[in-house]
Structure 1
Amino acid sequence: MSMIVTPVIAGILVLAQIPLTLLVGYRRLKTDIRFLDGGDETLIRRMRTHGNFTETVPSTLIAMALAEINGMPVWALWLFGTTLVAGRAVHAAQILSTGWGLGRSSGMGLTFLAMLAFGGWCLWSGTAISTR
């Protein structure tokens, strides 16, 4: 079985990480802060945006790929894959603009929903397969 949905979602998220990484590097160049955050609030927000993305996306994509391999319906892969993309976009926009607000919490909520769906499917399908 070849994967159809996960590569698209992974491609979108990998490309989304490029500007998040560049924003951190650009701020470091502009402020000459080469290590840590130097107390610069803009740099801190950019670092946390990039860091949170990096902390949540890889494990969720692994679970998504495993869910797809283990037969999660295509509609569910698209639904929760786009939920993950939307969650990461809303979360990043909020942190980069003001640092705290509804976008940050709703973005994490959407991310957790995708994590729960893919992780849950992996557990369910793994248990179902092992009892056959």
Structure 2
Amino acid sequence: MPRVTLLYAGLLGLAFFWLSWRVIRARGQAGVSLGTGEDAALQRAARVHGNFAEYVPVVLVLMLADELAGAPVPLLHGAGIALVLGRLCHAVSIGGERHRMRPRVAGMVLTFLALIVLAIAAIILAFS
């Protein structure tokens, strides 16, 4: 049973719901049913949601593959924590009224760290 991946998939699933709800709410406030129109708040909410949807599935697939291949649990938790914190930093940085570059960079660094560590682990585990 891939319990570590299940934990982070659950946490990130709840975060995805929250980001989806923010887009729905922003659409209602902007009166836009498709696309983002010219509404800045809706554009930010949609980009945060889209960026999450672009990175999280790939990292979770790597995590699951690594876990099933026998990766060390601390490595999986480290990557999972980095991914969750990274996605939250990113969402906070560009999802608010003003764009904050430091949390955005921190979010991307943490996300890339999780991605790279899990990808390298997958390659190593494939040959072990």
Whether TM-score is above 0.5 comes out as yes
Q: Give the structure-2-normalised TM-score.
A: 0.95
Please state if 1:118 is matched with 2:118: yes
> Aligned with 2:42: secondary structure?
helix
> Which residues of 2 match residues 60-71 of structure 1 at below 5 A?
60-71=59-70
Give the whole-Å Cα distance in 2 for the aligned partners of 1:76 and 1:108.
19
Instruction: State the 4+ residue runs in structure 1 displaced beyond 3 angstroms.
Output: none
Please state if 1:28 is matched with 2:27: yes
> Aligned with 1:34: secondary structure?
coil
- Matched with 2:41 is 42
Q: Give the structure-1-normalised TM-score.
A: 0.92
Residue identity opposite 1:101 in structure 2? M
> Aligned with 2:127: secondary structure?
helix
CA offsets per residue over residues 42-64 of structure 1, 9 Å max, x none? 00100000000000000100000
Structure with larger Rg: 1
Residue identity opposite 1:14 in structure 2? G
Please state if 1:109 is matched with 2:109: yes
Gaps of 5+ in 1: none
> Aligned with 1:42: secondary structure?
helix
CA offsets per residue over residues 97-116 of structure 1, 9 Å max, x none? 22341111110110000000
Gaps of 5+ in 2: none
Root-mean-square deviation over aligned CA pairs: 0.9
Cα offset for 1:127? 2.3
Size of the alignment, in residue pairs? Answer: 127
